[in-house]
Structure 1
Amino acid sequence: MVFLIEEEQRNSVKQNVQIYGEYYNGSGISWLLDVFTSWETLFAIAFLILIRNNLTIYYIKFIFGYIVINLCALTVIPLCLFRPKNPSNFCHIYPYVVSLTKFYGVKWELRGSEILAVDRAAVLMINHQSVADLNVLGSIYPTIKKGVLVIRRLVMFSFPLSLLIYLSSAIFIDRTNGKSANEKLLRSIGFIKKIKAKLIIFPEGKRNLNGDTLLPFKKGGFRLAISGQIPIIPLVISPYYFIDPKKKLFTHGNVIMKVLEPISTEGLTIDDIDELVENTQKLMCAEYKRLKDEVLAKDSI
């Protein structure tokens, strides 16, 4: 009698398992093992583990950003072909940049935009930290409207973004050949003054991964400003404390972009270049430190 009851119970269990679409082979847990060893489940578990890993997040954000920016460039290039070499072409990428910053979890604040909005020729100097500076450019272009970017020649191989930059009148220079780079910049003075554009240059010459202060400035942009007798507009970007290339960290945070008062070059000669470089760097370094303290204090709240 006991045997018959146990047999009926086993049959009942089998039927219940079959109702839920599983099978029973006598072990009692094989159907559960099948669920947790399916490719779909393993992929989902692996994905959940990976997205909680700082290294994975770091590369996902940069790779995804690179893909998105280049795909966006590809979509707006046809529009730019109707007006090639127009400094306003880069403005088309602004809506995509805004969406990308939301994905990054980074809030960007532009201060002093009224200075950038003035329709005049100038040299806009920005401190350089990361490829994420593309978000800075995308944020300020709708304000400056006409911006001519000075960028290293290697970027030409980053297609299709490089084509969009080229169609926006960018100046590609070889940083290993200072003489050639300076000559190329000086030839652009007439064009800059004629259309009242902002020549956008990174005076440090390379990415600053230090974060404590700014790197020594190169003289190319200052030489152009003196030669053209056009003002220098410093634009200081607070440090990207949420990005650490060494530890492979890319979290969320705040960025302040502060436009400083224009520095006149009227009446200056090439003999004044060292003093101009020194004074500009002092101003930007001091503002960089103030912004660093502010964003770190804001993030700690």
Structure 2
Amino acid sequence: MSNVALYYARVVLAVVVLMVSAAYGTLASIVCTLIGKQHLAQYTTARFYYYAMKWVMGIDVKVIGEEKLQNKPFIAVSNHQSTLDILMLGRMFPPGCTITAKTSLKWVPFLGWFMALSGTYFLNRSNRKQSVDTLNDGLRNIKEKKRALWIFPEGTRSYSTDLKLLPFKKGAFHLAQQGKIPIVPIVVSNTSTLMNSKNKVFNRGVITVKVMDPISTEELTPEGVSKFSEELHDKMFAELKTIGYSKAINDTNIPAEAIAFEKAHETESVAASDEKTTASAASGSSLHQE
């Protein structure tokens, strides 16, 4: 089978896994709602999808600092890259956490039904007042019930093969400031080495996720939100450059940018090793002369 044919075969298989998971989520949401545990519907469905993708598609998620997600309430913010973000959420989603999504997703069979039944906050991007009201409802809920909200502040998927973040929208940070709720920044390795439609990439591998330290918003003022979000953007971008790309088994293809990054990283590692060896040798020679 050619690499392109394998790519499309894996795409079809991944869609099947997603639809099966969404069907499970729809049923789980109904059951959880009936027993008064709606807040657990997204958690159980997320885990189902993660394990299905791990065993069927061969993609795993490695999380660094996951213990920082234990203390709720909080608002999690992370970079937004591709449909593999759903897999990342599947591995990490804490109990009692929910997401925001655009309103149009509500009408997608199974997936939209599950999202609606499980308490997703749907945002109408053409109606700012309605979106603000929805977020305010979410804010009251996570404060009163000590839950969590997951937001992608870039607003849309970047689909980037480069290590970059799109500019942050301010909604999540205004919400945190109003509720004095901590922000938990989460940085996900670039996943274009695992999935990228432009380069016909769909590989097995491991996504690396770094949960950064929670940031208090107790002293944050409305006037300081813009600066706060810009500084956090810079911190998360710096962390992204450290984490780099997701580790992949090359079944189909690898983006040129990822290959170049790995070569540059290897060169830097060799140079650092040579420098350390030279310094060690010089130190040994000095001790011998003494």
State whether residues 184 and 214 of structure 2, in contact with CA within 8 Å, keep that contact through their aligned partners in structure 1: yes
The 5-angstrom pairing of residues 95-174 of structure 1 reads 95-118=48-71, 120-141=72-93, 144-174=94-124
Quote the residue 1:235 is aligned against. Answer: 186
Q: Quick one: structure 1 residues 294 and 78, their matched pair in 2 at CA, closer, same or farther if it must change by over 3 Å?
A: closer
Q: Over aligned residue pairs, what C-alpha RMSD do you find?
A: 2.2
| In structure 2, C-alpha distance between the alignment counterparts of 1:288 and 1:179, rounded to whole Å | 33
- The SS at the match of 1:138 is helix
Offset from partner CA, 1:161-204 (integer Å, 9 cap, x none): 22222222110112344443233212321111111111111100
Q: Does the Cα contact within 8 Å between 2:99 and 2:150 map onto a contact in 1?
A: yes
Aligned to 1:55: 4
Amino acid at match of 2:150: I
The match for 1:74 among 23, 40, 44 is: 23
Letter in 1 for 2:235: L
Is 1:188 aligned to 2:138, yes or no?
yes
- For the 8 Å contact 1:128–1:204, the answer to whether it is kept is yes
Match of 1:16 in 2: none
Residue 276 of structure 2 corresponds to residue 276 of structure 1: no
Deviates more, 1:257-266 or 1:169-178: 169-178
Q: Which amino acid aligns with 2:209?
A: M
Q: What does the per-residue CA deviation read over 1:242-275, in whole Å, with 9 as the maximum and x for residues that have no partner? A: 3222122212232101100011110222111111
Partner of 1:263: helix, strand, or coil? coil
Instruction: Summarize the Cα distance change of 1:63–1:178 in structure 2 as closer, same or farther, 3 Å threshold.
Output: farther
Amino acid at match of 2:26: I
Where does residue 207 of structure 1 map in the other structure?
157
Long gaps (5+) in structure 1: 1-51
Provide the C-alpha distance between the structure 1 equivalents of 2:163 and 2:28, rounded to a whole number of angstroms.
41
Q: 1:63 to 1:182 in 2, by over 3 A?
A: farther
Q: How far apart are 1:76 and its partner, in Å?
A: 4.3
Q: Distance in 1 between matches of 2:85 and 2:245?
A: 20
Report the TM-score when normalising by structure 2.
Answer: 0.78
Check 1:89–1:245 CA distance in 2 against 1; reply closer, same or farther (3 A cut): same
1:54·1:250 contact (CA, 8 Å) conserved in 2? no
* Gap change, CA 1:82 and 1:247, over 3 Å in 2: closer
The Cα of 1:112 is off from its aligned counterpart by 0.8
The Cα of 1:223 is off from its aligned counterpart by 0.8
Whether 1:217 and 2:168 are equivalent positions in the alignment is yes
Give the secondary-structure state (helix, strand or coil) at the position aligned to 1:102.
helix
Note the C-alpha offset of 1:75. 3.1
From the superposition, tell whether residues 196 and 169 of structure 1 become closer, same or farther in structure 2 (CA, over 3 Å): same
Aligned residue for 2:48, secondary structure, equals helix
Q: Which has the larger radius of gyration?
A: 1
Q: Summarize the Cα distance change of 1:199–1:76 in structure 2 as closer, same or farther, 3 Å threshold.
A: closer
Judge conservation of contact 2:184–2:215 (CA < 8 Å) in 1. Answer: yes
Tell me, yes or no, if the aligned pair for 2:29 and 2:114 is still in contact at 8 Å.
yes
Q: Which runs of 5+ in 2 are unaligned?
A: 248-257, 267-290
Query: In the alignment, is the contact (CA less than 8 A) between 2:75 and 2:149 conserved in 1?
Result: yes
Task: State the alpha-carbon separation in 2 of the partners of residues 132 and 66 from structure 1.
Answer: 12
Alignment length (residue pairs): 246
Cα distance between partner residues in 2 of 1:294 and 1:162: 28
